[in-house]
């Protein structure tokens, strides 16, 4: 199976090939630098000539500056290439993860963290070390030219480092995967606690939750500690040899000097070449955790990018004009063996309001999620405006749908941005029209900065009823053709509920199809039709009056909404 990530990097093949070719010159520059100490010992030590010493120092300075500049150029090139990779993939990864989570592994934050891990590797010192390691055999050849025993010494040390690198990879990969899973669970748990901190603090749950989170966090630390311990044990022998390589070089060089095979000054050259040849491999061994993290992150990114590539490309369809036709729909949450919704069928024409009622756990919210395309159907069809829901692009379909979920949340931004769905082409007229239709002028007036008041983390806190009313304005922004409201009045008082009913009827009169889930009889009085759901199946379907007269639990209730009550409002709302 091809790698989408590798396909992206293929576009930088010339750049990476140039960097590899560029790395060919580094060994020769370093070898030239290492010859300077030997020249000082041999020439200046015998001639006592200050001019020769100055000349050698100047040569060494030029070589050092050139070597440093080349390293800086390589680092800047890698950084620019990493930035381009980030620009090409960030939007794709963020959009892909939030669009379809059924095959996703982790969270959107994890997906972006994987991208950053990949980017850091592709433009960081580990990739430079890999390039340098590729050209390390040049030092081996140079050592054989100096003396065959030195050549075999460096060859043996490099082979030992390579073997230990592979061994370390296989020894710690499983532990690092377990550590990342534990860290992911701990982060998800911490975010869930943070979102509900006020409620949890009020119920005295924080001490227990802190211990629960620390247990997950400790698991990640434990697995990481095991991986580091194993890596440290496996790296003990190479480290001992590395620390003792000066003794090895001087000891071997001493014997060769006594036999007249080398000059004593050669030992400085050999030691510098040995350290430079081993440097890249030692870096890879020391930073093996980051390399392993890159491999795991790249695999997850590949899975995400494959999902993007395999996703169907939808045509842009015209605005839906026909009815919403639901035929024998079966579905529910992903991963649940038994579907919640069982064989549901109905037709909702434009300009009609359908109320969905039923006991708790009957599947009402699940049905609304299927109707707006949040969850995929297991069986059946949903046709909206003569087009099957699956034929629509989610982005195009979403512009014709308004949705108020049970749990309303807003994104960090102004209240105007949230109402306009963060539409970059939003106009003041469209925002004001949504505010007018939802009748939330009183909320806007009570905010400290009006439409510019910031919501979300660190922003203004809206009450439960305010959140539902602002969410209604967001749902009807842009005049959608289908509006689905899931318990939109659960936190509303009588006056606000009547304004909600008036908004529903205004939407109906403009030709929209409206679906509302509610337990309150008063709101059902605004509906034209009712669907009674029980255990995921349709128990009854008909006009409002038919259902009120047919079912015993509705009989005797007042189907008509009560007159609109103007309740006094101060314009100031607390959380």
Going along the chain from its start, the domains and CATH numbers come out as 4-310 (1.20.1560.10), 324-550 (3.40.50.300)
Low-confidence ranges of the chain (pLDDT < 70): 1-2, 97, 99-109, 198, 309-312, 314-315, 552-575
* Per-residue pLDDT tens over the stretch 253-278: 888 888 888 877 788 788 888 888 87
The reported pLDDT for the residue numbered 109 is 62
* Contacts (Cβ under 8 Å, ≥6 apart) of 392: 314, 317, 373, 384
* Per-residue pLDDT tens over the stretch 312-360: 676 677 778 889 999 999 998 877 788 899 999 999 999 999 999 988 8
* Contacts (Cβ under 8 Å, ≥6 apart) of 100: 307, 311
> Phi/psi of residue 560, each to 5°?
-85, 140
The reported pLDDT for the residue numbered 566 is 42
The reported pLDDT for the residue numbered 571 is 40
The reported pLDDT for the residue numbered 531 is 92
Would you say the pTM of this structure is higher than 0.85?
no
The reported pLDDT for the residue numbered 165 is 73
The reported pLDDT for the residue numbered 553 is 63
Q: Which residue has the tokens 């030195």?
A: 150
> What 8-state DSSP symbol labels residue 228?
H
The reported pLDDT for the residue numbered 28 is 86
The reported pLDDT for the residue numbered 574 is 38
Q: How far is CA 436 from CA 296, 419, 443, 444, 534, in A?
A: 51, 12, 11, 11, 36
DSSP-derived pairing of the beta strands 387-388 and 377-384: antiparallel
Q: How far is CA 463 from the centre of its chain?
A: 30
């Amino acid at each position: 199976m091809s790698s989408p990530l590798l396909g992206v990097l293929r576009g930088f093949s010339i750049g990476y090939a140039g960097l590899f070719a560029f790395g060919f010159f580094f060994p020769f520059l370093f070898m030239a630098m290492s010859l300077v100490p030997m020249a000082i010992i041999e020439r200046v030590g015998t001639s006592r000539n200050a001019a020769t010493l100055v000349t050698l120092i100047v040569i060494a300075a030029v070589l050092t500056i050139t070597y440093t500049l080349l390293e800086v150029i390589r680092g800047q090139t890698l950084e620019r290439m990493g930035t381009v990779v980030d620009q090409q993939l960030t939007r794709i990864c963020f959009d892909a993860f939030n669009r379809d989570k059924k095959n996703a592994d982790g969270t959107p934050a994890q997906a972006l963290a994987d991208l950053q891990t990949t980017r850091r590797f592709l433009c960081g010192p580990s990739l430079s070390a890999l390039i340098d390691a590729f050209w390390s055999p040049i030092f081996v050849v140079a050592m054989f030219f100096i003396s065959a025993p030195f050549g075999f010494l460096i060859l043996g040390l490099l082979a030992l480092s390579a073997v230990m690198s592979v061994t370390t990879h296989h020894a710690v990969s499983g532990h690092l995967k377990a550590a990342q899973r534990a860290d992911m669970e701990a982060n998800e748990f911490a975010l869930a606690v943070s979102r509900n901190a006020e409620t949890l603090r009020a119920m005295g749950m924080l001490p227990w939750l802190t211990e629960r989170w620390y247990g997950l966090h400790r698991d990640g630390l434990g697995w990481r500690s095991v991986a580091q311990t194993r890596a440290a044990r496996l790296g003990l022998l190479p480290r001992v040899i590395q620390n003792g390589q000066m003794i090895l070089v001087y000891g071997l060089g001493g014997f060769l000097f006594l036999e007249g095979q080398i000059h004593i000054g050669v030992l400085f050259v050999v030691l510098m070449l040995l350290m430079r040849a081993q440097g890249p491999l030692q870096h890879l061994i020391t930073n093996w955790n980051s390399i392993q993290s890159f491999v795991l992150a790249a695999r997850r990114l590949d899975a995400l990018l494959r999902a993007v590539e395999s996703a169907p490309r939808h045509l842009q369809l015209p605005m839906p004009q026909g009815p919403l036709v639901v035929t024998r729909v079966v579905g529910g949450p992903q991963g649940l063996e038994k579907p919640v919704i069982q064989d549901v069928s109905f037709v909702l024409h434009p300009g009609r309001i359908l109320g969905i009622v039923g006991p708790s756990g009957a599947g009402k919210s699940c049905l609304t999620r299927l109707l707006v395309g949040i969850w995929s159907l297991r069986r059946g069809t949903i046709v909206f405006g003569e087009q099957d829901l699956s034929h629509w692009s989610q982005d195009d379909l979403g512009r014709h749908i308004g949705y108020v979920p049970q749990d309303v949340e807003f994104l960090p931004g102004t209240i105007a941005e949230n109402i306009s769905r963060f539409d970059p082409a939003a106009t003041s007229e469209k925002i004001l029209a949504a505010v007018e239709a939802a009748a939330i002028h009183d909320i806007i007036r009570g905010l400290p900065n009006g439409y510019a008041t910031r919501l979300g983390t660190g922003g203004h806190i809206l009450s439960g009823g305010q959140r539902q009313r602002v969410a209604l304005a967001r749902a009807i922004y842009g005049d959608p053709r289908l509006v689905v409201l899931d318990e939109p009045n659960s936190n509303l008082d009588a006056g606000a509920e009547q304004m909600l009913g008036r908004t529903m009827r205004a939407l109906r009169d403009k030709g929209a199809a409206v679906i509302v889930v509610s337990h309150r009889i008063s709101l059902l009085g605004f509906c034209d039709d009712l669907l009674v759901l029980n255990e995921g199946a349709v128990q009854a379907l008909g006009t409002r009056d038919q259902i009120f007269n047919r079912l015993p639990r509705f009989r005797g209730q007042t189907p008509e909404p009560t007159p609109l009550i103007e309740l006094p409002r101060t314009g100031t709302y607390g959380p």
